[in-house]
């Protein structure tokens, strides 16, 4: 089908399931480490499209869940500064394929964009508790 560059948090079981869904759907998936990628504001904004600032954030991140960061209260500039400083705050997965970029796991959107296997659509964006050993903020 298509080649998908998939930016994931290492050790995230949810991201691993999502990669398997894409592969089972016939896609070639190139997994990249979301936490060590050299992000810039311009590049990252390309994944968010017209989403509101609050939707740029991983709701499972410890700093968001704990209330230290309240995405709804942030300006775009402040939000981007936080995401660039701590990529674990970025909503994931980030995916790039067929000339488009998207953030988050939305099986219906992905099916319309690049196609998904019929019975293959885990709905969770977050990791299972304790997944992975590299955890900057979640």
Which pLDDT tens digit goes with each residue over 62-108? 999 999 999 999 999 999 999 999 999 999 999 999 999 999 999 99
Q: Which residues pair with 136 in a beta bridge?
A: none
Q: What's the pLDDT at 125?
A: 52
Indicate which residues carry an active-site annotation.
Answer: 12
pLDDT tens-digit profile of 39-67?
Answer: 999 999 999 999 999 999 999 999 999 99
Is domain 3-113 given the CATH code 3.40.30.10 in the classification?
A: yes
pLDDT tens-digit profile of 95-113?
Answer: 999 999 999 999 999 999 9
Considering only the C-alpha atoms of the chain, give the largest distance between any 2 of them, rounded to a whole number of Å: 42
| DSSP 8-class letter at 81 | H
Q: What is the distance between the alpha carbons of residues 12 and 116, in angstroms, rounded to a whole number?
A: 21
Q: Are 33 and 132 in contact (CB under 8 A)?
A: no
In whole angstroms, how far apart are CA 128 and each of 6, 16, 61? 19, 11, 12
């Amino acid at each position: 089908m298509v080649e998908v560059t998939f930016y994931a948090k290492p050790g995230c079981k949810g991201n691993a399931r999502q990669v398997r869904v894409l592969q089972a759907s016939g896609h070639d998936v190139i997994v990249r480490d979301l936490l060590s990628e050299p992000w810039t504001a311009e590049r990252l904004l390309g994944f968010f499209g017209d989403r509101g600032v609050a939707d740029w954030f991983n709701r499972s991140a410890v700093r968001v869940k704990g209330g230290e960061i309240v995405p709804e209260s942030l300006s775009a500039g402040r939000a981007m500064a936080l995401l660039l400083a701590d990529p674990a705050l970025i909503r994931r997965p980030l995916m790039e394929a067929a000339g488009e970029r998207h953030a988050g796991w939305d099986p219906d959107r992905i099916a319309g964009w690049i196609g998904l296997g019929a019975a293959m659509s885990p709905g969770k964006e977050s990791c299972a508790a304790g997944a992975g050993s590299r955890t900057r903020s979640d």
